[in-house]
A and B are shown apart, each in its own frame.
Chain A
Amino acid sequence: MAVGKLDADQGLIFYFIQQVRPELAVQISKTKTIETMIVGLGRQGTRHTRLMMEYGTNVTCGVAPGKGGTKVHETIPVYENANDAIKNHPNIAVASIWKHYSSAKDATIEVIRAGIPIVVLISEFIPLRDVRDILVEARKYETILFGGNTPGIIFPPEGIKVGMLPDIFQAQETNGKIGSKGVTILSRSGAILYHLSDALASAGIAQNGVLGVGGDAAIGSRFVDLVSTIMGYENTDLVVIAGEIGGMQEELLAQDMISHPEKYPKPLVALISGANAPEGKTMGHAGAVIAPGQSYGTYISKKDALENAGVSVVNHQRDLIEVVKTKLNRTYFKIEDYYNKMRKKWDAKTPERTWGTAITNVMPNNLIIRGYPLQEIIAKKGLLETAYLLQKSDFPDKNELQEMEKIAVKAVKEDFLNYISVPESADISKMIGSFLLIDNQLANFADSTKDISKVVAFTLGRIVKYIAIVLGNSEIVDSLQIEELSFTELIYLGLVGEKHPDKLKIRLLEAMITACVDHGITPPSAQATRILASARAKYEVGLSAGIQAITDVHGGAGQKAADFFLSVVRISKEKNINLDEATFELIRETIKTGKRIEGLGHRIHTKDPRRDILWELAENAGFAKECVSISKMIGDVFHQVRGIDLPINVDGVLGAITADMDIDPKLAKAIFVFGRIAGLTAHYFEEINTQPQMRSISFDKAVYRGQSIREIG
């Protein structure tokens, strides 16, 4: 079987473009690709965009008012209108229109005026007066307009389809090489196109273009507009038209053939349907009705007119095959190959539907954020830079970073429910989740700000404020506001409540936070935010849902791990035994009571990529004390007790460091929650901008489709 396909500038569709837009054709000869555009991204438009791409069509962009700036099928940019699309993609040669009939006219006219040479109008039931308006424009701009009510057009040699045709068509193929010779088929009906092509393929006849002209009574390009053009294409050996009762397209073509025989140098075969249709009854297609008393539009009038013009008219599949075979006297491919190809296609299992994220690639022992390994990000970049990277797939330049810093600091300083009193036992996730829902400043900022990097900076600032309230540090934060503190200093102050700490301490806390920014689609927090975003909930609502999914089970183990490490230290002191002995003892005791040891084990990582860099930074800052030592040995000790490998995870490491820093163990969870704000924000906006609303989300079908691994430059 052949691999590859015909060059885009060798086929029939290119020939069409050459006839009406020679300058664009020159561009296509250089790029060797024919760019297409989708207008209307409802259910059908979106579904068929994917099918077209799978067939091989280059879908460059989409147009859908209200969806500008988002992406369809995760990678294809969507614009507000056709002009924006053309500005960004000047080589678009074909547009297909999938709009509802009530808005199809404006969308089509917009595309025609943008100068796109080939327009495929899939929409059906368009009011006739609107169709006339469309035709006025199409004539003015010399647009080749297929439809309305067309199943689309397909070019098997080039592998280009625009529309909803099934994949049953067959190109010329000689010794594994695809060629563009064959017949070109035009039809007013979709199913007939398929039955015709399939019948011809069964006799070894290739199709170099299969064109649905539309089933409506008034359509764009008619047989008479297209057939002679197609006969000018050197690789078309014969043209088949499938006509039906109603209208006078077939009669008109016959008239033109008689008055201008020189325009029709190649054989034409017509299959006409409706020989046995009753008078006066509309048969499905608006156009397919025999109007009583008219001199055209009947089977006989069409057959007679075409036969007078020398066209072979058939009304039966077998006759079609025989007539075409006789006229061509050749085949274009091995019939057996065609059937094998078809069989393969239909025996194939439906491929699993995956969906993509470009944020974080989660692999065992590796966390790659936007292409950068997380441990390197922790080592080399700050929190705001990482938050920017998560949203925008690159690090900020100096000005952008300064802007974020300014916004974040301002967000800390703006008022928020300072009078609120929070109980000592308050759960940090629950409180922050609640604050997010009632913070009007945040809601207003997120609503009115387009740049997501600014939204995330403002949110991080607000979270500092919330955490300070929950941990009882808000007065200190407020009292120091007159001083010119940096954002990282404010973070330290808000979380730890310590004034003027050591720079290394600040850096350590920032690194611990950065270590928690994201873990791809896998954690419940990201999934909760995604579900809310899918229902198009507001940003802060989606964020709140994600934060509230951070519990003892997910992300909240640090506090318990810290408590455990501190207990080990206490036991070792009380009993005057080594830390490893104390660890061994406490693990055994804990397990006896049926409890688990927090901070151990991970669903994905055996050696958590965030571990070593955090230990190293703790060491540098002078906070690698007993608890960090325990965290380094606990995996081995656990193995001695249970015979199972359960390595330390990031919660465990964070718990150990917070314990050694001698700060409230509650902070371990606050750190995790704080860091995850950046990742959840990225998930929220990725869902909004690249996925259809209210989709059914299979989280295990998510695939990473982002940047490949790169180094921080």
Chain B
Amino acid sequence: MKLYESEAKQIFEKFGLIIPKQIAIIKSINELEKLTLVFPIMVKAMVLIGGRGKAGGIKKVYSLEETKKIVNEMFSLSIHGYPITKILLEEAVDVASEVYLSITTDPVTFDVIIIASGSGGVDIEEVARTQPEEIWKKTIKNNPLSLSNEIAEEAAIFLINKNPDLDIAKIQLVSTITALFAVFQQVEAKICEINPLIFTKDNTLIAADAKLVIDDNSLYRQSSLLKSIGIDPRSKRHDISEQTIFEVQAYNIGFPYLDLLINPETFEKEKNKLYVGLVPGGAGYGIFSIDEIVNVGNRYFDGKVVPINFMDSGGGPSLSNVANMFHLLMDHPATDLIITSRFGGISSCDIFIQGLIMALRDRFMSKKRMIPVFGRMVGTDLAAARAFYEKAKRETPEPLKNLHIVVGNQKIMADVIKDGIEYGFRVKEQEKSGGN
């Protein structure tokens, strides 16, 4: 879970780091009236994404008029798809120099890693590429809960060597590094970053920005901390930009779903393309099936096939959840065809086919839009699933006439996908000629 800068700073402060005085977090320009402001101050957009500075989300202002103007502009801005709804106003800090400090997980060994640089306030990835000697990195073995003084000193000495002015703040530098490490371990962060850590003209180190991402898996035992900064620990904060209505719908039902089309509600379909919805099974195949649709489309259908969603439909969903997965995609205005696969280890083919057929019958009865479904089922409870499927086709042929499920693995999924797309284009052709 990503925290807003203001929240991250509150936590940092609890661990003894010095932060700029937070004046207010406002949600509308009217709130400015009530505040007593001593200029200059910082105006900062509270969005959960990096690169705010470049996008105009961080400004230093010197007067009330300027503040009003900037705040007004910011509220109409959106940064990388994140609309700005909250703005932090805080005390501006006199900058002598800037330090970069972060703690994260080493992607190679999964150990904790500390990164420090005397070049704060800039894109650290860029520094790493162009001037690797400006970066100090230390992998911390054995996952200790607190950092040894030795290592904190080592980092401080590196920074002092790069910028001898810092020498006077050596003790605070060491304690800042130690505190940040304590935040990382005790809050169970994935990333803990201060960029920049400002060395002020009066020789103090202040965390002018803060980035804190808490490990979602640990939220259950961080609830008292989260509550203390006003976050409800049970409501997982989604960390993507504005959710689409379909994403909200899936989130509320309880399965992972992402729209791949930008603005799917208002999106204009290209007439000659086939838009494919996916109910693919687990997360891994969810990612892979998107590629398969594109690959099959490029290879056999002139690149005219567009996958519209990611879904994780694995892990043994309930009957009604299976039905809801299909309802969601059939309500989705883009969908021309649905590809589905059930490869049951932990989940049951039986529940899957029953849920799917339940959705199709319901839609048929209530005259909702029906979309052709192609797919395959293999694995746990297949015998029962097949018996149900065959019986249902006999009993209610009409709602199921566009349901084509291969039972067993005589055909690999890539070929099922190809068959489905071929069928989808055929239906499209017929609709076209029928319309004429």
Contact = CB atoms under 8 A, between A and B. Distances in A.
Given A133-B143, A282-B239, A349-B383, A273 B284 contact: yes
Interface in A275-317: 275-278, 280-286, 288, 292-297, 315-317
A697 interface: no
A252 interface: yes
B282 A317 contact: no
Nearest to A122: B346
Given A278-B258, A283-B310, A339-B410, A188 B105 contact: no
Interface string A235-249: 000000010110110
A181 to B, nearest CB: 22
A198 B377 CA distance: 12
Nearest to A148: B217
Contacts of B291: 273-276, 315-316
Given A274-B291, A278-B260, A190 B284 contact: yes
B414 A317 contact: yes
Contacts of B346: 44, 151, 164
B397 interface: no
A191 B343 contact: yes
Interface stretch (A124-132, A358-366, A636-644): A124-132
Interface in B393-436: 407-410, 412-415
B408 to A, nearest CB: 6
A330 interface: no
A198 B412 contact: yes
A634 interface: no
Q: Which of B291, B295, B386 has most A Cβ within 10 Å? A: B291
A114 interface: no
B58 interface: no
Contacts of A151: 345-346
Contacts of A343: 408
A294 B105 CA distance: 14
B110 interface: yes
Contacts of B290: 274, 276-277
A544 B343 CA distance: 48
Secondary structure at chain A's binding surface: helix, strand, loop or mixed?
loop
A153 B274 CA distance: 38
Interface in A151-168: 151, 164-166, 168
Nearest to A279: B80
Contacts of A102: 220-221
Contact of A168 (B105, B112, B407, B409): B409
Contacts of A136: 141-143
Contacts of B412: 195, 198-199, 202, 317-318, 321
Interface residues of B, number: 70
A194 interface: yes
A348 B408 CA distance: 12
A123 to B, nearest CB: 10
B355 interface: no
Interface string B272-315: 00000000111111111011101110010000000100101010
Contacts of B40: none
A43 to B, nearest CB: 11
Nearest to B256: A284
Contact of A128 (B218, B312, B381, B384): B218
Measured as residues with beta carbon below 8 angstroms from the partner, the interface class of chain A is 35 or more
Contacts of A419: none
A627 interface: no
A6 interface: no
A134 B415 CA distance: 42
A282 B239 CA distance: 9
A129 B125 contact: no
Given A164-B346, A280-B240, A296-B107, A195 B288 contact: yes
B412 to A, nearest CB: 5
A445 interface: no
A190 B287 contact: no
Residue of B105, B143, B287, B307 most packed against chain A (CB within 10 A): B287
B7 to A, nearest CB: 20
A274 B288 CA distance: 6
Contacts of A44: 346
A421 interface: no
Contacts of B282: 189-191, 284
A293 B50 contact: yes
A124 B33 CA distance: 50
B296 A316 contact: yes
A281 B258 contact: yes
A166 B343 contact: yes
A571 interface: no
Most chain A beta carbons < 10 A, residue from B107, B241, B383: B107
Interface in A191-222: 191-192, 194-195, 198-199, 202, 215, 217-219
Interface in B143-176: 143
A347 interface: yes
B414 A318 contact: yes
A664 B381 CA distance: 59
Interface in B43-72: 49-50
A135 B129 CA distance: 30
B379 interface: yes
B105 A128 contact: yes
A476 to B, nearest CB: 64
Contacts of A349: 383
Contacts of B185: 129
Contact of B314 (A127, A131, A191): A191
Interface in B336-380: 341, 343-346, 378-380
A192 B285 contact: yes
Interface string A699-713: 000000000000000
A126 B346 CA distance: 19
Contacts of A244: 284, 287-288
Given A127-B218, A128-B105, A283 B345 contact: no
B314 A128 contact: no
Contacts of A165: 345
A314 to B, nearest CB: 9
A278 B281 CA distance: 19
B215 interface: yes
Interface in A675-701: none
Contacts of A242: 284
Contacts of B310: 277, 281, 283-284
B332 interface: no
Contacts of A296: 107
B35 interface: no
A466 to B, nearest CB: 50
Contact of B217 (A127, A189, A284, A297): A127
B55 to A, nearest CB: 13
Contact of B288 (A101, A128, A273): A273
B345 A350 contact: no
A292 B378 CA distance: 37
Contacts of B378: 166, 168, 194, 198, 346
Nearest to A128: B215
Nearest to B219: A127
Contacts of A135: 110-111, 143
A187 interface: yes
Contacts of B379: 166, 168, 194
A342 interface: yes
8 contacts: A101-B217, A132-B143, A135-B110, A191-B281, A194-B345, A195-B288, A277-B290, A288-B283
Q: Which 4 A-B pairs have the closest CB atoms?
A: A189-B284, A284-B283, A191-B285, A317-B414
Interface of B: 49-50, 105, 107-108, 110-112, 123, 125, 129, 141-143, 185, 188, 190, 215-218, 220-221, 239-241, 256, 258, 260, 280-288, 290-292, 294-296, 299, 307, 310, 312, 314, 341, 343-346, 378-384, 386, 407-410, 412-415
Given A127-B215, A283-B256, 12 more contacts: A126-B217, A166-B380, A191-B280, A195-B412, A198-B378, A199-B412, A271-B288, A273-B287, A278-B258, A285-B287, A349-B383, A350-B381
